[in-house]
Structure 1
Amino acid sequence: MLNLIRWFSLAAIAILMLAGGAVAQAPTGELSALARLEPARSSMQVTETGLTLTLGISQPVPWRARLLDNPPRLVVDFREVDWRGIEGVRREGVADLRAGIFRPGWSRLVAELRRPMVIERAGMSTDGATTVEVALRPASAQEFSSKASVPEPPGWTLPKPAAISGGNPSDDGRFVVVLDPGHGGIDPGAETEGLKEAELVLTFARELKDLLMRDGSIEVFMTREEDAFVPLETRITVSRAAAADVFISLHADALAEGEAVGATVYTLSDEASDAAAQALAERHDRADLLAGVDLSEQDDMVARVLMDMARTETAPRADKLADALVTSINAAGLRMHRHPHQTAGFSVLKSPDTPSVLLELGFMSSEKDLERLQDTEWRSKMAAAVRDGLVAWARDDAARRGLK
């Protein structure tokens, strides 16, 4: 334990015990050392008194633990831990356990609890090996709520998206496309056979960006360039800051339904096309919740009315964009879902002034789709089809708006 105290002193780490039972170890120095998870020494186990999270890591790093509600979650942040091997860690008594990069320099582990629990003790030991242990005990809903409502200490919260006016991007003659590779970091998306949706769609987004940029008349931005978590609201802010003409969110989800095969283009609607589309939209929003993003702040009534008014013009343009993409993908001879254009309440599509679509390149739950997603030649054909659809839509949209 003396080694631990000496290490924290050298690193200028202040250890803070937050009111309400949440535990934080807040860094005041800049540390770049990356600790590695040691799966063999890590587990989430049921005990006689509740649950105990044990994490074996390769070296001490600044960290903190706290509780969040709706759903009940234990959140543990580190600066930072390489979470490779987390999928093999024993996980008892929790509904979900996920970990990954949360933001630059920080990684996060989130355990979704099956019932309200509070932190009974939390600490780091460096006796022989570095171990973090967080013990939880059952609690009443009232006690849990009081602990989970403790505000974040200064410097811990994610910066709020800037209020940026998008303007009219066509005024300066640019055609700006924002590509949004879905998921990332702590939210890997669908996973199968050692492959992650977040990695597959990032690879495609990079290839599509290169192709679009070679066109010479298209400017491209991406909401993420690496395996990092980006909240849904921030993705929209990136689009508005770029004054985007078009926003395309890229995914490759997994569904239990056997018919989930082929590319699908989604546009925003309060009414989902079917139960599968609704489940996908709910899963995407849930990823933000489990990652620890506060979604409790809702738009006020005036803001909602103004946004709905703006969408009355944007929605038809988004529908035509979806139709143009479906036409070009079909023309390229690429497999599409039997209902290629669907609707659902995807939050990432809610920009009031930018035509936005979500493109499911395929479904990782389909063996054939999974093969296609890993095929360089197939991805090249799909990227070319998306480019052709965008160019056709931009030409048609400019003509329509010129008639007004």
Structure 2
Amino acid sequence: MRDPRVDVWRGLALVFIFWDHIPGNRLGELTLRNIGLSDAAELFVFLAGFGAAKAWGPLLLRQGYAAACRRILKRAATLYVAHIFLMVLLLAVVFVANAHVETRDFITEMHLEPFLTSPDRVLVDAVLLRFRPVLLDPLPLYIVLVLAMGAVLPLLVHRPLLLLSGSVALYALWPDLPGQARFGGPGWFFNPLAWQVLFFLGALVALHGHRLARLTGSRPAQVVVAGILVLAAALALSWRVPDLHDRVVPQAVAQWLYPIDKTNLDVLRLGHFLLLAWLASVLIPAGRWTDCGPARLLRLLGRQSLPVFCAGVVLVPVADALATLAGSTLAADLLVGAGGVLVLAALALLVDWLSRPLPEPRTA
């Protein structure tokens, strides 16, 4: 049975990702990155693994490995086509925004200069997933992880401890992706060799999470985890006041903590997210709350995660440009942030309606 909380959390991650990517938007102050060491990216990747395992694990058992691989390859192809189409659409939107907002240079801000200076090479790199402008890193990561899922699906279903051991070993031994993966710039913003551990942890929880049920009733563990999360929130909030942070956090501790690397999924980010996810799953059980207004909206967004994510990427420069033209006021931030979510919800509703099977024709 589908857990409605998964769609709620996935929808929440999509909203937070949209707000986080609008530069300077006040609604971005409400997202996960402000109260801890991880953010919506960890939530999204974890749930991507969770959803993939729920879809393809049972398929492996019912129809065999070949059928599961066909479905996985079809999904990877869909993601690839979506990525290429999204890049073209994003380029068009950014160039239009750049022409109408004189005070901003969106082309430079989104690292699109190579497209102007070497379009032939950039087109080749785009097809090979080596050219990924700002906002377009998640889908290439997802494509790689989906293909990796095809390779290890039998282990996921039948030998979960072996998969867990291999995934953790890869995360620990290969934190840096070798080579230059982006034209004229650094490597992958999301290192697949690091982020795979979160994806496969989500997959393992989806199929084998019932083995952890006995841990949920440990009240002392809940208290300890809550305390750690409070300390992490205090640390994140202290970043807003550098002088206070420097007085409270000893230099030796700061040298150990920083930098908290997102590209290679720093162990502090990974640990913080896992503790947060565990505590949320314990303290927020499934129930009627998932049918209330806001939760229903998030569930709708979560069910249509791919089109909603793609639309959110396109809406980011639109929202940024509109807020800039309006003077970047609080009202403008709220309007473009909330309005963007409503647009995403309308799209999700349309896709949801189009995906429903047609009713059987009535016979006379």
Q: TM-score, normalised by structure 2?
A: 0.23
Higher helix share: 2
Higher strand share: 1
Larger radius of gyration: 1
